[in-house]
């Protein structure tokens, strides 16, 4: 079967074909054909992914090499795909959720003109393709190809409605923040090349132990900076909530199934490096936890339905990084999976609400919608229960696994993480109650227009709701069912179990009970607070949270403004005044009093020449100066 796995190239190939067909022929094709191509190609990839998954489950894994992408002397970068437990699980998530979102989009975007429709689907396919490249690459260069591609596609998708400048600003922000991350990633890449002479995972990881601690620490920290940009962690998280400007299915795709997982995948893939750099691991754990808390507090005061979900994503990703930081890779990946289910569900359900409200996203003008949008309400509720970690919903198992590993690692981490979990339950149920309970606060017209979404939107919701409910059963801890942790078993070839558990079963049970009781208490609290809508006053801490800790303003002040000014300075002052001015001053000094030369000097050419001469003198001076 080894040879059959060589065919994995077909998985990214189909979305690429879909992209090409929809991109090139979007004018000729009818909308239904576009939708068919868009969804069909992803479906084929999904089926192939399931096949690959089953292969891997039977113990096959392979590095499929195709040709030498780059070869320069002894340095070679093969175009190769890694097929193992980790990548095959991600393949399933990406193509599976990707397919559901494609189907949902066919209905959500149906009001667009044919051409835009085609463009939208072609971007979506390209996005899936890039993401597949990212997780399948067997070396850092192929991973980087996908990494860049994902950034480019998200730029295109977020800015999809480019006529709105607000949107293209958000797209730019996402892009710029990702550039910062890419820069760190590239530096890490070249550091790896210069130290190990290779970029292939197997070679790099086998040589990792021979590297100095400082090298490994620098490499892993740089990689982590790259990850913070993709996975929206402190300090590069502000782009993600702004990226809500894109169409809702895009938010679901970016926030649940794909892009934000890129950083997590990369860190997990580089586990061999991180295990040698305890400092980096601590940095990851602390950054993750800080992000989780920060984003959760912000989410408590947001009024835009998608913004709340966006901050909750940032917060959940923080949890996953906490897991990676304490070495609980399996728990982290488990939470990636369950999070993909319930976050996709929540976003798509929010899309359904927005759809029903005719584009309204402010929860202050919603309320009482559970009667009209039954399916949406129930599925959203499932999502909330899952994200809050109520047993037996999926979030319970994965979040519990993370909390437990935090407890084993450090009690303080555990307490803070638990606090974050309570915040999660609070803001999610605030969102639920304000949206669906109480009385309707929108306009007459909106109320009249309220309706449940068509089947192409509700069926994906139901599928995702089932997954959000049952997805956790893939990782039932030992205390409930011996050998029930199927996901850890599946991942064990890549991520061997992390040592023996130090926590006794009784402690584990008590912790679970404690979490559950506290979360339920918080939900009850939220019920009394938000059962009926009361305008929230904005002052003190509330205002501070509502304004997202003023981080955007801070960045504006300390980074963007100076850069802007520097740019303007360069083009206006430096080029025009300093260069020309300097040249003119020197020229005037040299040629003062000489009418003839002054005539010559009026032209720009002379100043150019003068700069040439000055530079030459400078070169000579440098040479003479350095000679000693």
Partner 1 sequence: MISLTGLNLILPQLIIALAAIIVMLSIAVKRCHRFTNLFTLLSFAAAAISVLYIPRGSFGVSSLFVVDGFGKFFTVLIACAGFVITLMSYHYLNAREKRNEEYYILLLLSSLGALTMVISNHFVSFFLSLEVLSVSLYALIGYLKEEPAGIESGIKYLVLAAVSSSFLLFGIALIYMQTGHLDLSGIAAGLSSSGEFSGVFIAGLAMVIVGIGFKMALVPFHLWTPDIYAGASAPVSAFVATVSKGAVFAFLLRLFYSTGGLENKNVWTVFTIIAVASMLFGNWLALRQQNIKRLLAYSSIGHLGYLMVAFLAITDRGMQAATFYLVVYFTGMLAAFGTVIYMSNKKGEALYIDDYRGLFWKKPWLAAIFTTVMLSLAGIPLTAGFLGKLYLLTAGTEVGIWLLVIVLVVSSGIGLFYYLRVVAVMFAGKNENEASSEPVIGKIFPHGLVLTLLFLLLLWFGVYPSSLLEIIQQIASVIR
Task: Give the integer Cα–Cα distance in Å for 544 and 546.
Answer: 6
Backbone φ and ψ for 247, nearest 5 degrees, come out as -60, 150
Q: How far is CA 102 from the centre of its chain?
A: 18
Peptide bond into 235 cis (omega under 30): yes
Nearer to partner 1, 84 or 148 (CB): 148
Residue among 359, 483, 595, 624 that touches partner 1 (CB under 8 A)? 624
Nearer to partner 1, 190 or 473 (CB): 190
- Position 440 contacts partner 1 (CB under 8 A): no
Strand partners, 67: 79
Which 325-384 positions form the footprint of partner 1 (CB under 8 A)? none
CB of 315 closer than 8 Å to CB of 420: yes
CB of 66 closer than 8 Å to CB of 79: yes
- The least CB distance from residue 270 to partner 1, in Å, is 19
Residue among 164, 213, 492, 571 that touches partner 1 (CB under 8 A)? 571
Nearer to partner 1, 513 or 605 (CB): 605
Residue among 57, 110, 179, 588 that touches partner 1 (CB under 8 A)? 179
Q: Which stretch in 238-246, 252-260, 309-317, 566-574 sits in contact with partner 1 by CB under 8 A?
A: 566-574
- Position 13 contacts partner 1 (CB under 8 A): no
Residues in the chain: 628
- Position 226 contacts partner 1 (CB under 8 A): no
Nearer to partner 1, 72 or 589 (CB): 72
Nearer to partner 1, 207 or 501 (CB): 207
- The least CB distance from residue 291 to partner 1, in Å, is 24
Residue among 1, 32, 58, 73 that touches partner 1 (CB under 8 A)? 73
Q: Which DSSP string corresponds to 93-157?
A: HHHHHHHHHHHHHHHHTTTS-HHHHHHHHHHHHHHHHHHHHHHHBSBHHHHHHHHHHHHHHHHHH
- Position 623 contacts partner 1 (CB under 8 A): yes
Nearer to partner 1, 478 or 556 (CB): 556
Distances from the Cα of 357 to the Cαs of 104, 208, 347, 446, 460, in angstroms?
17, 54, 15, 6, 19
- The least CB distance from residue 130 to partner 1, in Å, is 9
Q: Sign (positive/negative) of CA torsion 538, 540, 542, 548? A: positive
Which 117-156 positions form the footprint of partner 1 (CB under 8 A)? 141, 144-145, 148-149, 152, 155
Nearer to partner 1, 455 or 616 (CB): 616
Task: Record the tokens describing residue 177, joined without a space.
Answer: 């923040």
Which 578-607 positions form the footprint of partner 1 (CB under 8 A)? 579, 604-605, 607
Q: Which stretch in 175-183, 447-455, 519-527, 530-538 sits in contact with partner 1 by CB under 8 A?
A: 175-183
Nearer to partner 1, 78 or 460 (CB): 78
Alpha helices in 25-84 (DSSP H): 31-57
- Position 612 contacts partner 1 (CB under 8 A): yes
- Position 514 contacts partner 1 (CB under 8 A): no
Residue 28 burial by Cβ neighbours in a 10 Å radius (0-12, 13-18, 19+): exposed
Task: Give the integer Cα–Cα distance in Å for 577 and 220.
Answer: 44
- The least CB distance from residue 163 to partner 1, in Å, is 6
Distances from the Cα of 343 to the Cαs of 143, 395, 468, 518, 598, in angstroms?
25, 10, 9, 22, 72
- Position 67 contacts partner 1 (CB under 8 A): yes
- Position 482 contacts partner 1 (CB under 8 A): no
Residue among 113, 209, 213, 615 that touches partner 1 (CB under 8 A)? 615
- Position 47 contacts partner 1 (CB under 8 A): no
CB of 380 closer than 8 Å to CB of 432: yes
Task: Give the integer Cα–Cα distance in Å for 470 and 315.
Answer: 22
SS (H, E, C) 72-108: ECCEEEEEEEEECHHHHHHHHHHHHHHHHHHHHHHHH
Which 378-407 positions form the footprint of partner 1 (CB under 8 A)? none
Among candidate residues 85, 192, 77, the one with its CA nearest the CA of residue 139? 77
SS3 state at 18:
helix
Residue 94 burial by Cβ neighbours in a 10 Å radius (0-12, 13-18, 19+): buried
Nearer to partner 1, 492 or 615 (CB): 615
x/- map, 520-559, partner 1, by CB under 8 A? ----------------------------------------
* Distant-in-sequence, close-in-space partners of 555: CB < 8 Å, separation ≥ 6: 238
- The least CB distance from residue 128 to partner 1, in Å, is 16
Task: Give the integer Cα–Cα distance in Å for 244 and 227.
Answer: 20
Q: Which stretch in 158-166, 288-296, 311-319, 495-503 sits in contact with partner 1 by CB under 8 A?
A: 158-166
Strand partners, 485: 475
Which 187-216 positions form the footprint of partner 1 (CB under 8 A)? 187, 190-191, 193-194
Task: Give the integer Cα–Cα distance in Å for 232 and 27.
Answer: 36
Q: Sign (positive/negative) of CA torsion 546, 549, 550, 556? A: negative
Residue among 4, 162, 411, 542 that touches partner 1 (CB under 8 A)? 162
Q: Which stretch in 67-75, 426-434, 441-449, 472-480 sits in contact with partner 1 by CB under 8 A?
A: 67-75
* Distant-in-sequence, close-in-space partners of 473: CB < 8 Å, separation ≥ 6: 392, 394, 397, 484
Task: Record the tokens describing residue 403, joined without a space.
Answer: 């909390």
Residue among 496, 567, 594, 597 that touches partner 1 (CB under 8 A)? 567
Q: Which stretch in 297-305, 487-495, 591-599, 614-622 sits in contact with partner 1 by CB under 8 A?
A: 614-622
- Position 84 contacts partner 1 (CB under 8 A): no
Nearer to partner 1, 77 or 431 (CB): 77
Q: Which stretch in 54-62, 218-226, 436-444, 569-577 sits in contact with partner 1 by CB under 8 A?
A: 569-577
Q: Which residues bind partner 1 (CB under 8 A)?
A: 67-73, 75, 141, 144-145, 148-149, 152, 155, 159, 162-163, 168, 175, 179, 182-183, 186-187, 190-191, 193-194, 567, 570-571, 575, 579, 604-605, 607-609, 611-612, 615-616, 619-620, 622-624, 626-627
């Amino acid at each position: 079967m080894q040879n059959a796995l060589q065919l994995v190239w077909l998985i990214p190939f189909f979305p690429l074909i879909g992209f090409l067909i929809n991109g090139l022929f979007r004018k000729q094709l009818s909308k239904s054909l576009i939708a068919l191509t868009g969804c069909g190609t992803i479906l084929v990839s999904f089926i192939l992914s399931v096949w690959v998954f089953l292969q891997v489950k039977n113990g096959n894994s392979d590095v499929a090499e195709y040709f030498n992408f780059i070869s320069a002397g002894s340095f070679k970068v093969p175009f190769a795909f890694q097929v193992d437990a980790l990548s095959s699980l991600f393949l399933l998530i990406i193509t599976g959720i990707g397919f559901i979102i494609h189907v949902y989009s066919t209905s959500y975007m149906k009001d667009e003109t044919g051409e835009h429709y085609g463009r939208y689907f072609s971007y979506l396919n390209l996005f899936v393709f890039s993401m597949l490249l990212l997780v399948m690459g067997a070396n850092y260069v192929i991973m980087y190809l996908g990494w860049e591609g994902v950034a480019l596609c998200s730029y295109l998708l977020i800015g999809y409605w480019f006529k709105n400048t607000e949107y293209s600003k958000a797209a730019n922000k996402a892009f710029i923040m990702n550039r910062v991350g890419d820069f760190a990633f590239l530096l890490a890449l070249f550091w790896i090349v210069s130290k190990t002479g290779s970029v292939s995972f197997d070679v790099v990881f086998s040589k990792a132990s021979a590297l100095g601690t400082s090298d490994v620490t620098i490499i892993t920290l740089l990689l982590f900076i790259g990850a913070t940009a993709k996975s929206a962690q402190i300090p590069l998280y502000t782009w993600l909530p702004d990226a809500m400007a894109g169409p809702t299915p895009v938010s679901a795709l970016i926030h649940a199934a794909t892009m934000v997982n890129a950083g997590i995948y990369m860190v997990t893939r580089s586990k061999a490096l991180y295990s040698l750099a305890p400092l980096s691991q601590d940095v990851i754990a602390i950054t993750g936890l800080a992000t989780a808390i920060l984003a959760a507090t912000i989410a408590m005061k947001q009024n835009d339905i998608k913004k709340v979900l966006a901050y909750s994503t940032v917060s959940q990703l923080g949890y996953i990084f906490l897991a990676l930081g304490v070495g609980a890779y399996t728990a982290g990946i488990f939470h990636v999976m369950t999070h993909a289910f319930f976050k996709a569900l929540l976003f798509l359900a929010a899309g359904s609400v927005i759809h029903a409200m005719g584009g309204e996203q402010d929860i202050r003008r919603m309320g009482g919608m559970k009667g009209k949008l039954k399916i949406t309400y129930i599925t959203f509720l499932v999502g909330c229960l899952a994200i809050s970690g109520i047993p037996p919903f999926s979030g319970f198992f994965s979040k519990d696994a993370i909390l437990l590993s935090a407890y084993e690692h450090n009690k303080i981490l555990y307490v803070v993480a638990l606090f974050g979990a309570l915040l999660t339950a609070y803001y999610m149920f605030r969102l639920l109650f304000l949206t669906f309970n109480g009385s309707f606060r929108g306009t007459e017209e909106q109320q009249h227009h309220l309706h449940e979404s068509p089947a192409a939107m509700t069926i994906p919701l139901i599928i995702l709701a089932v997954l959000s409910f049952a997805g956790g059963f893939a990782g039932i801890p030992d205390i409930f069912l011996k050998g029930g942790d199927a996901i850890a078993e599946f991942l064990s070839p890549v991520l061997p179990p992390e040592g023996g558990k130090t926590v006794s079963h009784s402690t584990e049970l008590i912790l679970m009970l404690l979490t559950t009781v506290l979360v339920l208490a918080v939900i009850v609290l939220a019920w009394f607070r938000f059962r009926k809508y009361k305008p929230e006053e904005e002052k003190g801490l509330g205002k501070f949270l509502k304004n997202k800790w003023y981080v955007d303003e801070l960045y504006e002040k300390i980074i963007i403004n100076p850069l802007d000014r520097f740019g303007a300075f360069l083009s206006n002052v430096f080029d025009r005044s300093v260069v020309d001015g300097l040249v003119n001053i020197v020229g005037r000094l040299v040629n003062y009093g000489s009418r003839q030369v002054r005539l010559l000097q009026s032209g720009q050419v002379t100043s150019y020449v003068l700069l040439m001469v000055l530079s030459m003198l400078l070169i000579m001076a440098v040479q003479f100066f350095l000679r000693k």
